[in-house]
Structures are given as structure tokens and as C-alpha cells.
């Protein structure tokens, strides 16, 4: 994984309000991808001055989205993981994959067994909003963009609690 460089804020700047609006990185689609994604999200969010609870939520959501991309798509191609900082402090996390063989986008469903099927349920519970859309028109190799918005990334708004 080679993260995109994030410029350091000047000493006289408040990091929360002068952070870059968007940054991304490519992650090899391997079993190590979720851990690499979590580390990149934590480092980036800390640099942006995101609150600790919101960072935990961002890490969990990124891990779930990256895991889904590795497990359910053409995993030999790299993924793109991105963070977007809104002016109100909301942070969006997105994963761009290379699509499944059947072309279906991820969808919220019921957990089917003890070990699998709960990832998007967690994303739905912890995010302000989330979605998935196919990239058929934009990219000839198909793929999906799956995203989530995390509340509580701004000091005035409480983050969801992970129990």
C-alpha cells in the first residue's frame, strides 16, 4: 500500500478546518487489505483532526467495505480507498472495486450465518448514510463505488458508540 501524501497543516492553522477535502490510496486486494485500509484511515483521520470515536467508526466501516470488496469481487485487481471531509465535519469513506462476476452491487441483507453477512448491517447502523452504485458508464472494467458518511467527525456532533 502506498498512501497518497497528505500535506501537514501550518502551525497557525486549525487542522479540522483546513484539512484536504479528499484523499485516496490504492490497496492490493489481498487478505491483508482490511488491516492496511484501517491503518491508512486512522493515520489520515488523525492528520485531519477527526475525533477518536469517529476514527474508530471510520476504521470499522472501511474494514467492512474493503473486506466485502476483497471477498465478493475480482480480488486480483487493486482497490481504491478514499476519504472525503465535508465542511460540516462529516467524513465519507469509499471503496472502488472492480465488480463481481454477476455485476450486482452490494446490498443490505440479513446475516446468513454466524461468521458472514453482517458487514453492511454494521455499516448501515454506524453511518449517517451509505450506498453503492455500479460504475458501468465511467469505467470499462465495471466495478462499484461503495460509500458511507460518518457523523460525529466534528467536535460539536457526537459519534456513534461502538459497544
Domain boundaries, the chain: 20-150
DSSP string, 75-103: TTSPEEEEEEE-TTS-EEEEEE----TT-
pLDDT tens by residue, 98-142 = 876 555 555 545 445 545 557 788 899 999 999 988 877 655 567
What topology is assigned to 20-150 in CATH?
A: Heat Shock Protein 90 (3.30.565)
What is the model's pLDDT at position 8?
A: 41
pTM, rounded to two decimals: 0.73
CA-closest candidate to residue 58, choices 82, 75, 80: 82
pLDDT tens by residue, 143-162 = 888 999 997 555 444 444 44
Amino acid at each position: 500500500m502506498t498512501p497518497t501524501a497528505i500535506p501537514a497543516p501550518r502551525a497557525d492553522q486549525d487542522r479540522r478546518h483546513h484539512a484536504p477535502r479528499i484523499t485516496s490510496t490504492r490497496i492490493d486486494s489481498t487478505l491483508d487489505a482490511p488491516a492496511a485500509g484501517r491503518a491508512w484511515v486512522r493515520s489520515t483521520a488523525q492528520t485531519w483532526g477527526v475525533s477518536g470515536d469517529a476514527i474508530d467508526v471510520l476504521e470499522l466501516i472501511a474494514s467492512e467495505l474493503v473486506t466485502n470488496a476483497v471477498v465478493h469481487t475480482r480480488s486480483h485487481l487493486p482497490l481504491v480507498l478514499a476519504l472525503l471531509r465535508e465542511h460540516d465535519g462529516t467524513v465519507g469513506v469509499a471503496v472502488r472495486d472492480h465488480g463481481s462476476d454477476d455485476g450486482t452491487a452490494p446490498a443490505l441483507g440479513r446475516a446468513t450465518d454466524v461468521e458472514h453477512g453482517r458487514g453492511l448491517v454494521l455499516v448501515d447502523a454506524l453511518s449517517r448514510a451509505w450506498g453503492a452504485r455500479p460504475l458501468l458508464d465511467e469505467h470499462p472494467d465495471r466495478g462499484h463505488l461503495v460509500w458511507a458518511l460518518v457523523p460525529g467527525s466534528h467536535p460539536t456532533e457526537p459519534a456513534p458508540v461502538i459497544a
